[in-house]
Amino acid sequence: MSERRLRAGVNLIPEAPVGVISDLAVEAERLGFDRCWVYDEGLATRDLYVTMTAIAQATSRLEIGPGITNAYTRHPGQTAAAIATLDELSGGRAFLGLGAGGSLTLDPLVLGRVHPLETVHQTIKACRGLFTGTTVDMEAPTFSLRSAHMGWARPDIPIWLAGRGPKMLDLGGAETDGVMLDFIYKPALGEYVERVRAGSTRTGNRAGICYSTMVVTDDAALETVRPHMTYRLVDSPEPVRIALGITDEDVATIRSALADGLDAAARYVPDEWVLPFVIAGTVDECAAELADLAERHGLDEFLVPIFDAHSGADLLDVTARVLAGP
Protein backbone atom coordinates (compact mmCIF):
# COMPACT_ATOMS: atom_id res chain seq x y z
CA MET A 1 0.00 0.00 0.00
CA SER A 2 1.37 3.40 -0.88
CA GLU A 3 2.09 6.09 1.68
CA ARG A 4 -0.98 7.94 2.83
CA ARG A 5 -2.04 10.30 5.54
CA LEU A 6 -4.94 8.13 6.69
CA ARG A 7 -4.10 5.13 8.80
CA ALA A 8 -5.89 1.95 7.75
CA GLY A 9 -7.89 -0.18 10.15
CA VAL A 10 -10.06 -3.27 9.85
CA ASN A 11 -12.82 -4.24 12.28
CA LEU A 12 -13.39 -8.00 12.35
CA ILE A 13 -16.56 -9.52 13.77
CA PRO A 14 -15.74 -13.04 15.03
CA GLU A 15 -18.90 -14.78 13.84
CA ALA A 16 -16.67 -17.21 11.92
CA PRO A 17 -14.20 -19.62 13.58
CA VAL A 18 -11.21 -17.97 15.22
CA GLY A 19 -8.82 -19.38 12.61
CA VAL A 20 -10.78 -17.73 9.79
CA ILE A 21 -10.76 -14.37 11.59
CA SER A 22 -7.05 -14.68 12.32
CA ASP A 23 -6.35 -15.39 8.63
CA LEU A 24 -8.19 -12.17 7.69
CA ALA A 25 -5.98 -10.24 10.12
CA VAL A 26 -2.89 -11.76 8.51
CA GLU A 27 -4.18 -10.67 5.08
CA ALA A 28 -4.86 -7.16 6.39
CA GLU A 29 -1.30 -6.96 7.69
CA ARG A 30 0.04 -8.16 4.33
CA LEU A 31 -1.93 -5.41 2.57
CA GLY A 32 -0.44 -2.75 4.82
CA PHE A 33 -3.26 -2.14 7.30
CA ASP A 34 -2.11 -0.58 10.55
CA ARG A 35 -4.69 -1.65 13.09
CA CYS A 36 -7.04 -4.56 13.74
CA TRP A 37 -10.12 -3.90 15.83
CA VAL A 38 -12.26 -6.87 16.93
CA TYR A 39 -16.00 -6.64 17.65
CA ASP A 40 -17.14 -7.66 21.12
CA GLU A 41 -20.74 -8.85 20.72
CA GLY A 42 -20.89 -11.17 23.71
CA LEU A 43 -22.64 -14.48 23.12
CA ALA A 44 -23.32 -13.62 19.46
CA THR A 45 -19.65 -14.07 18.54
CA ARG A 46 -16.51 -15.94 19.55
CA ASP A 47 -14.79 -14.63 22.65
CA LEU A 48 -13.08 -11.29 22.12
CA TYR A 49 -9.90 -11.97 24.06
CA VAL A 50 -9.28 -15.46 22.70
CA THR A 51 -9.72 -14.07 19.18
CA MET A 52 -7.35 -11.14 19.80
CA THR A 53 -4.75 -13.51 21.27
CA ALA A 54 -4.88 -15.66 18.13
CA ILE A 55 -4.47 -12.56 15.97
CA ALA A 56 -1.52 -11.38 18.07
CA GLN A 57 0.22 -14.71 17.64
CA ALA A 58 -0.40 -14.77 13.88
CA THR A 59 0.77 -11.21 13.13
CA SER A 60 3.86 -9.13 13.84
CA ARG A 61 2.94 -5.51 13.16
CA LEU A 62 -0.82 -4.91 13.45
CA GLU A 63 -2.06 -3.03 16.49
CA ILE A 64 -4.85 -5.05 18.13
CA GLY A 65 -7.76 -4.09 20.35
CA PRO A 66 -11.51 -4.34 20.94
CA GLY A 67 -13.75 -2.61 18.48
CA ILE A 68 -15.59 -2.01 20.80
CA THR A 69 -15.87 -3.63 24.24
CA ASN A 70 -18.32 -2.30 26.82
CA ALA A 71 -18.08 -1.14 30.41
CA TYR A 72 -20.53 -3.68 31.87
CA THR A 73 -19.82 -7.31 31.00
CA ARG A 74 -16.35 -7.33 32.60
CA HIS A 75 -14.99 -5.59 35.66
CA PRO A 76 -12.61 -2.80 34.52
CA GLY A 77 -9.83 -4.43 36.53
CA GLN A 78 -10.21 -7.60 34.50
CA THR A 79 -10.38 -5.61 31.27
CA ALA A 80 -7.20 -3.72 32.15
CA ALA A 81 -5.34 -6.92 33.03
CA ALA A 82 -6.51 -8.66 29.84
CA ILE A 83 -5.48 -5.75 27.59
CA ALA A 84 -2.12 -5.38 29.35
CA THR A 85 -1.49 -9.12 28.95
CA LEU A 86 -2.37 -8.90 25.24
CA ASP A 87 0.01 -5.96 25.00
CA GLU A 88 2.80 -8.00 26.60
CA LEU A 89 2.12 -11.00 24.36
CA SER A 90 2.06 -8.88 21.20
CA GLY A 91 5.18 -6.86 21.94
CA GLY A 92 3.41 -3.59 22.71
CA ARG A 93 0.71 -3.64 20.02
CA ALA A 94 -2.48 -3.58 22.12
CA PHE A 95 -5.02 -0.81 22.64
CA LEU A 96 -8.34 -0.60 24.48
CA GLY A 97 -11.46 0.35 22.53
CA LEU A 98 -14.32 1.15 24.88
CA GLY A 99 -17.97 2.16 24.66
CA ALA A 100 -21.28 1.91 26.48
CA GLY A 101 -22.37 -1.28 24.71
CA GLY A 102 -25.56 -2.20 22.93
CA SER A 103 -28.55 -4.46 23.28
CA LEU A 104 -27.11 -7.31 21.17
CA THR A 105 -24.40 -7.81 23.79
CA LEU A 106 -26.10 -6.76 27.00
CA ASP A 107 -29.68 -8.04 26.72
CA PRO A 108 -28.90 -11.80 26.71
CA LEU A 109 -26.84 -11.28 29.86
CA VAL A 110 -29.63 -9.24 31.48
CA LEU A 111 -27.34 -6.25 31.87
CA GLY A 112 -28.55 -2.67 31.60
CA ARG A 113 -26.66 0.43 30.50
CA VAL A 114 -26.65 1.99 33.96
CA HIS A 115 -25.49 5.63 33.94
CA PRO A 116 -23.54 5.02 30.70
CA LEU A 117 -21.63 8.30 30.59
CA GLU A 118 -20.44 8.08 34.18
CA THR A 119 -19.74 4.35 33.96
CA VAL A 120 -17.66 4.72 30.80
CA HIS A 121 -15.82 7.71 32.27
CA GLN A 122 -14.97 5.83 35.45
CA THR A 123 -13.89 2.78 33.44
CA ILE A 124 -11.50 4.94 31.42
CA LYS A 125 -10.05 6.39 34.64
CA ALA A 126 -9.73 2.97 36.24
CA CYS A 127 -7.97 1.39 33.26
CA ARG A 128 -5.71 4.39 32.78
CA GLY A 129 -4.74 4.32 36.43
CA LEU A 130 -4.04 0.59 36.39
CA PHE A 131 -1.99 0.84 33.19
CA THR A 132 0.19 3.54 34.74
CA GLY A 133 0.79 1.59 37.93
CA THR A 134 -1.34 3.81 40.15
CA THR A 135 -3.09 2.31 43.16
CA VAL A 136 -6.76 2.82 42.36
CA ASP A 137 -9.61 3.29 44.83
CA MET A 138 -12.92 4.00 43.13
CA GLU A 139 -16.68 3.81 43.58
CA ALA A 140 -18.51 3.77 40.24
CA PRO A 141 -22.18 3.06 39.44
CA THR A 142 -21.46 -0.56 38.51
CA PHE A 143 -18.08 -1.43 40.05
CA SER A 144 -15.66 -0.68 42.86
CA LEU A 145 -11.88 -0.87 43.27
CA ARG A 146 -10.02 -1.12 46.56
CA SER A 147 -6.24 -0.59 46.62
CA ALA A 148 -6.14 -2.06 43.10
CA HIS A 149 -2.66 -2.07 41.61
CA MET A 150 -1.12 -3.51 38.45
CA GLY A 151 2.57 -2.71 38.34
CA TRP A 152 3.65 -4.49 35.19
CA ALA A 153 1.67 -2.90 32.33
CA ARG A 154 2.91 -0.54 29.63
CA PRO A 155 1.80 2.84 31.01
CA ASP A 156 0.81 4.40 27.69
CA ILE A 157 -1.50 1.71 26.29
CA PRO A 158 -3.90 3.77 24.12
CA ILE A 159 -7.56 4.05 25.07
CA TRP A 160 -10.10 4.80 22.33
CA LEU A 161 -13.77 5.61 22.83
CA ALA A 162 -16.73 4.96 20.55
CA GLY A 163 -19.90 6.98 20.96
CA ARG A 164 -22.48 9.25 19.35
CA GLY A 165 -24.00 11.46 22.02
CA PRO A 166 -22.57 14.97 22.54
CA LYS A 167 -21.42 14.28 26.10
CA MET A 168 -19.76 10.98 25.16
CA LEU A 169 -17.97 12.64 22.23
CA ASP A 170 -16.82 15.44 24.52
CA LEU A 171 -15.50 12.86 26.99
CA GLY A 172 -13.61 11.07 24.24
CA GLY A 173 -12.04 14.27 23.03
CA ALA A 174 -11.12 15.35 26.52
CA GLU A 175 -9.69 12.19 28.03
CA THR A 176 -8.87 9.47 25.49
CA ASP A 177 -6.32 8.88 22.76
CA GLY A 178 -9.00 8.86 20.08
CA VAL A 179 -12.65 8.54 19.16
CA MET A 180 -14.12 6.06 16.72
CA LEU A 181 -17.07 7.45 14.75
CA ASP A 182 -19.07 4.55 13.36
CA PHE A 183 -21.50 4.81 10.40
CA ILE A 184 -22.19 8.51 10.86
CA TYR A 185 -24.60 10.22 8.45
CA LYS A 186 -22.02 11.83 6.17
CA PRO A 187 -23.57 15.33 6.00
CA ALA A 188 -23.36 15.46 9.83
CA LEU A 189 -19.83 14.05 10.17
CA GLY A 190 -18.31 17.49 10.71
CA GLU A 191 -20.59 18.14 13.70
CA TYR A 192 -19.43 14.93 15.39
CA VAL A 193 -15.77 15.75 14.76
CA GLU A 194 -16.21 19.24 16.18
CA ARG A 195 -17.72 17.85 19.38
CA VAL A 196 -14.62 15.69 19.82
CA ARG A 197 -12.33 18.62 19.06
CA ALA A 198 -14.17 20.78 21.59
CA GLY A 199 -13.48 18.22 24.30
CA SER A 200 -9.82 18.10 23.34
CA THR A 201 -9.57 21.89 23.41
CA ARG A 202 -11.14 22.02 26.86
CA THR A 203 -8.44 19.81 28.40
CA GLY A 204 -5.49 20.37 26.09
CA ASN A 205 -5.73 16.80 24.82
CA ARG A 206 -5.26 15.69 21.21
CA ALA A 207 -7.70 12.89 20.47
CA GLY A 208 -7.42 11.17 17.10
CA ILE A 209 -10.44 10.61 14.87
CA CYS A 210 -11.18 7.19 13.41
CA TYR A 211 -13.98 7.17 10.84
CA SER A 212 -15.59 3.78 10.28
CA THR A 213 -17.99 2.77 7.53
CA MET A 214 -18.43 0.30 4.69
CA VAL A 215 -16.79 0.60 1.28
CA VAL A 216 -19.41 -0.27 -1.35
CA THR A 217 -18.14 -0.83 -4.87
CA ASP A 218 -20.67 -3.41 -6.05
CA ASP A 219 -24.14 -4.78 -5.35
CA ALA A 220 -22.80 -7.59 -3.18
CA ALA A 221 -21.19 -5.12 -0.77
CA LEU A 222 -24.40 -3.09 -0.66
CA GLU A 223 -26.39 -6.20 0.26
CA THR A 224 -23.81 -7.11 2.91
CA VAL A 225 -24.14 -3.77 4.69
CA ARG A 226 -27.93 -3.31 4.31
CA PRO A 227 -28.91 -5.56 7.28
CA HIS A 228 -26.47 -3.70 9.50
CA MET A 229 -28.13 -0.39 8.67
CA THR A 230 -31.47 -1.52 10.13
CA TYR A 231 -30.77 -0.88 13.81
CA ARG A 232 -28.57 2.09 13.00
CA LEU A 233 -31.38 3.80 11.08
CA VAL A 234 -34.03 3.33 13.75
CA ASP A 235 -31.64 4.71 16.36
CA SER A 236 -30.55 7.66 14.22
CA PRO A 237 -31.19 11.18 15.55
CA GLU A 238 -34.51 12.66 14.52
CA PRO A 239 -32.96 15.28 12.16
CA VAL A 240 -31.27 12.47 10.23
CA ARG A 241 -34.49 10.50 9.92
CA ILE A 242 -36.31 13.62 8.73
CA ALA A 243 -33.60 14.35 6.16
CA LEU A 244 -33.91 10.81 4.81
CA GLY A 245 -37.71 10.81 4.86
CA ILE A 246 -37.92 8.03 7.43
CA THR A 247 -41.32 8.20 9.14
CA ASP A 248 -42.40 6.92 12.53
CA GLU A 249 -44.26 4.19 10.68
CA ASP A 250 -41.03 3.17 8.91
CA VAL A 251 -39.24 2.97 12.24
CA ALA A 252 -42.01 0.85 13.73
CA THR A 253 -41.97 -1.49 10.73
CA ILE A 254 -38.20 -2.01 10.92
CA ARG A 255 -38.26 -2.50 14.70
CA SER A 256 -40.99 -5.11 14.37
CA ALA A 257 -39.11 -6.93 11.60
CA LEU A 258 -35.91 -6.98 13.67
CA ALA A 259 -37.59 -9.55 15.90
CA ASP A 260 -37.10 -11.97 12.97
CA GLY A 261 -33.47 -10.96 12.40
CA LEU A 262 -31.42 -8.40 10.51
CA ASP A 263 -32.10 -9.89 7.09
CA ALA A 264 -35.86 -9.71 7.64
CA ALA A 265 -35.64 -6.05 8.62
CA ALA A 266 -33.30 -5.25 5.72
CA ARG A 267 -36.18 -5.74 3.28
CA TYR A 268 -37.57 -2.41 4.48
CA VAL A 269 -34.32 -0.44 3.96
CA PRO A 270 -33.99 1.07 0.46
CA ASP A 271 -30.69 2.04 -1.13
CA GLU A 272 -31.29 5.75 -0.58
CA TRP A 273 -31.26 5.22 3.19
CA VAL A 274 -27.97 3.29 3.08
CA LEU A 275 -25.82 5.33 0.69
CA PRO A 276 -25.57 8.52 2.83
CA PHE A 277 -23.78 6.44 5.49
CA VAL A 278 -21.22 4.58 3.36
CA ILE A 279 -18.42 5.24 0.88
CA ALA A 280 -19.87 4.11 -2.46
CA GLY A 281 -18.98 4.08 -6.15
CA THR A 282 -16.08 2.82 -8.21
CA VAL A 283 -12.73 2.36 -6.49
CA ASP A 284 -11.56 5.73 -7.83
CA GLU A 285 -14.81 7.45 -6.79
CA CYS A 286 -14.54 5.95 -3.30
CA ALA A 287 -10.91 7.04 -3.06
CA ALA A 288 -11.79 10.59 -4.05
CA GLU A 289 -14.71 10.80 -1.60
CA LEU A 290 -12.70 9.39 1.30
CA ALA A 291 -9.78 11.71 0.56
CA ASP A 292 -12.19 14.67 0.56
CA LEU A 293 -13.75 13.64 3.89
CA ALA A 294 -10.32 13.13 5.43
CA GLU A 295 -9.13 16.54 4.27
CA ARG A 296 -12.26 18.43 5.32
CA HIS A 297 -12.58 16.83 8.74
CA GLY A 298 -8.98 16.05 9.67
CA LEU A 299 -9.52 12.30 9.95
CA ASP A 300 -6.64 10.20 11.25
CA GLU A 301 -7.81 6.67 10.47
CA PHE A 302 -10.29 4.92 8.21
CA LEU A 303 -11.78 1.72 9.60
CA VAL A 304 -13.61 -0.77 7.41
CA PRO A 305 -15.85 -3.40 9.06
CA ILE A 306 -15.82 -6.97 7.81
CA PHE A 307 -19.35 -8.29 8.32
CA ASP A 308 -18.95 -11.36 6.07
CA ALA A 309 -15.78 -13.39 6.63
CA HIS A 310 -16.20 -15.24 3.32
CA SER A 311 -15.91 -12.03 1.28
CA GLY A 312 -13.58 -10.36 3.76
CA ALA A 313 -10.37 -10.79 1.78
CA ASP A 314 -11.95 -9.15 -1.28
CA LEU A 315 -13.18 -6.20 0.79
CA LEU A 316 -9.74 -5.78 2.34
CA ASP A 317 -8.20 -5.66 -1.14
CA VAL A 318 -10.75 -3.10 -2.36
CA THR A 319 -10.26 -0.94 0.73
CA ALA A 320 -6.49 -1.05 0.32
CA ARG A 321 -6.88 0.22 -3.25
CA VAL A 322 -9.29 2.94 -2.10
CA LEU A 323 -6.84 4.10 0.56
CA ALA A 324 -4.00 4.11 -1.97
CA GLY A 325 -5.86 6.89 -3.80
CA PRO A 326 -7.16 7.43 -7.33
> Model confidence at 2, in pLDDT bands (50, 70, 90)?
very low
| Helix intervals (H) in 149-247 | 166-175, 189-203, 219-234, 238-244
This prediction has a pTM of 0.95
Q: Nearest 5°: phi and psi at 211?
A: -105, 125
Predicted pLDDT of residue 103: 76
C-alpha neighbours within 13 Å on the C-beta side of residue 15: 10
In sequence order, the 6+-apart residues with CB closer than 8 A to the CB of 179 are: 160, 161, 162, 163, 169, 172, 173, 196, 207, 208, 209, 210
Find the mean pLDDT for residues 116-138.
97
Q: Residue 146: is its pLDDT beyond 50?
A: yes
Tell me the β-bridge partners of 64: 36, 94
Report the alpha-carbon distance of residue 170 to residue 280 in Å, rounded: 29
Q: Residue 3: is its pLDDT beyond 50?
A: no
- Tens of pLDDT, residue by residue over 176-193, are 999 999 999 999 999 999
Find the mean pLDDT for residues 121-143.
97
Q: Nearest 5°: phi and psi at 321?
A: -70, -35
The count of other CB atoms within 10 Å of the CB of residue 289 is 17
Q: Look over the chain and give the mean of its residue pLDDT values, rounded to a whole number.
A: 95
Predicted pLDDT of residue 102: 81
Q: Residue 126: is its pLDDT beyond 70?
A: yes
What's the burial of 223, exposed, middle or buried (CB within 10 Å: 0-12/13-18/19+)? middle
Q: Residue 168: is its pLDDT beyond 80?
A: yes
Q: Residue 156: is its pLDDT beyond 70?
A: yes
Q: Could you give the domains of the chain?
A: 7-221+276-324 (3.20.20.30), 222-275 (no CATH)
Strands 7-12 and 279-280: unpaired
Predicted pLDDT of residue 5: 73
Q: Nearest 5°: phi and psi at 280?
A: -135, 150
Q: Residue 1: is its pLDDT beyond 70?
A: no
